[in-house]
Each structure stands twice: as C-alpha cells, then as structure tokens.
Amino acid sequence: MQQYEFDIDPACGKQRLDVFLAEAMDDLTRSYIQKLIEAEQVTVNGAPAKAHYKLKAGDRVDLAVPDPEPLEVQPEAIPLNIVHEDDCLIVVDKPPGMVVHPAPGHAGGTLVNALLYHCKDLAGIGGVERPGIVHRLDKDTSGLIVAAKTEACMQSLTLQFKERDIQKVYLALAKGTFTPQNGVIDAPIGRHKTHRKKMSTRAPAGREATTRYEVIRQCDGFAYVRLFPKTGRTHQLRVHLASLGHPILGDRLYGGTLEPGLPQMSRQALHAHRLELTHPATGDVLQLESPLPSDMKAALPTAPNPKIL
C-alpha cells in the first residue's frame, strides 16, 4: 500500500476532490480515483469524503493506493509514430496523453501495450511490465522516447543514461519574462515534504539536478524555451522552471495554471525534441528530432519569420 498526503493551498481551493487527485496523480485515471474514494481509501481531514467534495485551503487529503498486482500486459494495435527502428532499438514520438507503461487505472492503452503489438519479440526484455523501457516521459509530455529490443541493447542504453552520455533537448512554453534569457539551474530535487506526488528543490534530501536553458523567443507573458537537462530527475524540467518563477504553461501541479491573456494549454507545454545516443550495436552516434507539436506551435503568436522548430 502506497500512502500519499496533500496539503491544499489556496490555488487548489474549490476544486473537486476527484479532479484534484486525478491531476496530482498523473498515472492514475479519474475513474480509478473515484473507485478509491468509494472504497474509503481517500480521506479529507481524517474522514471519508465524496468525489464531488469541494476542497478548501488548509484541507489535508490522504490517499491510499493498493500495491498493484503483477500485470499480464497485452499487446494492443495502437498506432505509433515511429521515428527510427532497427533490430536493436525503436524510437517513438509519443503523443501527449499517452501513459508509458501500465499502472493502476491504466491497464491498457499505454506505449508498452503498443510496443508489444508492434515488436513481436519484445516481451520480457528488461521486465514484464516495462519491456524495453529505459526511460520515461510524463503522461502529458510529448516527444521522443527510446525502447530496447534486445537485452544487450537494454543494458547499453541503461548504462548510457546512468553515465549521462545520452543528450536530450526539450522545448517548453513557460510563464513570465526571463531575465537573463540564458542560464543554468543547479538545484537538487527531492520528494516534496507534504505533497507526495510533487517534487521540490527545497526537499531536505534532494539529489543533484542541473538544467541549462535558453530563450528562443520571448512573447507577451510567456517564453518559448529550449532546455538541456544534464541529469534526469523526476519532473526535473517542470520543477526547475517553476523554481525560477516560470512554471510551464498548463502544468497545474507546479503552478502553470491558465490565466487570461496566456495560451490555453490542455496539458503541460513540454516536448522532448531531440535525442542523441550511441547506437549499442554499431557504435555510431544516432541523432533524432521531433518537431514542435501542433498545440504548442498554435500557442505562439504569429510574427515575421518566427523562429519555430
């Protein structure tokens, strides 16, 4: 059983309990959250509450999530945007909204289900529930993700990520006016002391985390930013930008709530744009890119010769 605690701040006040938890627990569906509420696995201020309960500032929400039973992950014929594939690995351009691997409330429809259907011999590579997966993207982050198709490739890619030899570049739309427009965020990241689904740069036992950023284009009230993570901590880019006072647009968990005059994003405006790695089989450098997705591109105002990737 996993326990989560949430202290409700004014920004989350008046939000429905089930809606708040579905946004805070991005790997659980709202329907699964509602089942947990019905089973009294969710309490507000120590007492069971209804899904439609409107939260108030100062409320304390406790959530108990049962340990998942081992899943027998089934192949599913889900279309994939394949950027590169060979006998060793596959690189997919993941759409926003797709969960990477099965979890409670997401037994199907995941990237793993799709990969098992597309790659007939993938099962068992690196684990039953996460075959071939060596890194992950948040549900609402779009872009490039690589999966191994052999055990040897899995070991090589895992080591490359561990040694920070794989280069990643992200694109984001973030609130505010950046000063300076280039910089390095060097701030350890750890689990938030009260909000167990959030990460924080103020955690007492944070781990090293470094992100370089550069503004591609400063817009009115927000910026189009390129991000170069040196480390790969959970929610690193979202947390680091929020720590500067520039949360990613649409990222409700870290303060990127929608405001009048700003683009109305239905998800966090973060995209895994570029991936560079050493091919485990050939030793060649593999460089892959994914263009800025349509929802983020549409959020940028038109201008003469706009610099849009």
Look up the pTM and report it.
0.78
Asked if residue 301 is part of any domain, the answer here is: no
Residue 193's pLDDT is 73
Residue 221, domain CATH: 3.30.2350.10
Q: What is the CA radius of gyration of the chain?
A: 20
Contact by Cβ (8 Å): 10, 57: yes
Tell me which of 192 and 244 has the higher pLDDT: 244
Distance, in Å, from the CA atom of 135 to the CA atom of 178, rounded to the nearest integer, reads: 30
d(CA 29, CA 43): 18
Instruction: Please compute the mean of the pLDDT values over residues 184-191 and round it to a whole number.
Output: 93
Roughly how many angstroms between the first and final C-alpha of the chain, as a whole number? Answer: 44
Percent of the chain having pLDDT more than 70?
Answer: 92
Residue 297 domain flag:
no
Q: Does residue 306 lie within any of the structural domains?
A: no
Catalytic residue among 26, 27, 138, 251: 138
Shared domain for 77 and 137, answered yes or no, is yes
Instruction: Note whether 151 and 177 are same-domain residues.
Output: no
Classified as helix, coil or strand, 162 is helix
* Per-residue model confidence (pLDDT) at position 66: 81
Sign of the alpha-carbon dihedral angle for 193, 199, 201, 206: positive
122: left (phi over 0), alpha (psi -120 to 50) or beta: alpha
Q: Is the pLDDT of residue 304 over 50?
A: no
pLDDT of residue 147 exceeding 90, the answer is yes
- 239 found inside a domain: yes
According to the model, what pLDDT value does residue 132 have?
Answer: 87
Is pLDDT at 305 greater than 70 in this prediction? no
The tens digit of pLDDT for each residue in 70-105 reads: 557 889 999 999 999 999 999 999 999 999 988 766
51 and 13 assigned to the same domain: yes
| Burial (Cβ within 10 Å: 0-12, 13-18, ≥19) of residue 241 | buried
307: pLDDT strictly greater than 60: no
Residue 285 maps to a domain: no
Counted domains in the chain: 3
176 and 135 together in one domain: no
Determine the Cα–Cα distance for residues 195 and 20; give it in Å rounded to an integer: 12
Residues 103 and 156 placed together within one structural domain of the fold: yes
Residues 174 and 267 in one domain: yes
Nearest to 224 by CA among 214, 232, 233: 214
248-271 mean pLDDT: 91
Indicate whether 294 belongs to any domain. Answer: no
> Once rounded to an integer, what is the mean pLDDT over residues 281-306?
88
Q: Residue 19 is part of a domain; what is its CATH number? A: 3.10.290.10
**121 lies in the same domain as 187:** no
Residue 271 C-beta-side C-alpha neighbours within 13 Å: 21
Is 289 domain-assigned? no
What is the pLDDT averaged over residues 41-50? Answer: 94
From the CB of residue 244, how many other CB atoms can be counted at a distance below 10 Å?
18
| Statement to judge: residues 82 and 107 lie in one domain | yes
Verify that 18 and 94 share a domain, yes or no.
no
For the question of residue 93 being annotated catalytic, the response is no
| Residue 197, phi-psi category: left (phi > 0), alpha (psi -120 to 50), beta (remainder) | alpha
Distance of CA 262 to the CA centre of its chain: 22
Structural domain that includes position 61 = 2-65
Q: What is the maximum span of the chain, computed from C-alpha positions, in angstroms?
A: 59
Cα separation, 237 vs 36, in Å, equals 30
Say if residue 83 is in the same domain as residue 121.
yes
d(CA 126, CA 146): 13
**Is 308 a member of any domain?**
no
Q: Whole-number mean pLDDT of the chain?
A: 89
Q: How far apart are CA 202 and CA 189, in angstroms?
A: 7
Do 150 and 173 have their domain in common? Answer: no
46 and 134 both lie in a single domain? no
Given a cut of 50, whether residue 142 has pLDDT beyond it is: yes
Q: How buried is residue 279: exposed, middle or buried, by Cβ count under 10 Å (0-12/13-18/19+)?
A: middle
Q: Which of 61-70, 99-108, 210-219 has the highest mean pLDDT?
A: 210-219
**Rounded to whole angstroms, what are the CA distances from 301 to 5, 89, 187, 290?**
40, 38, 32, 21
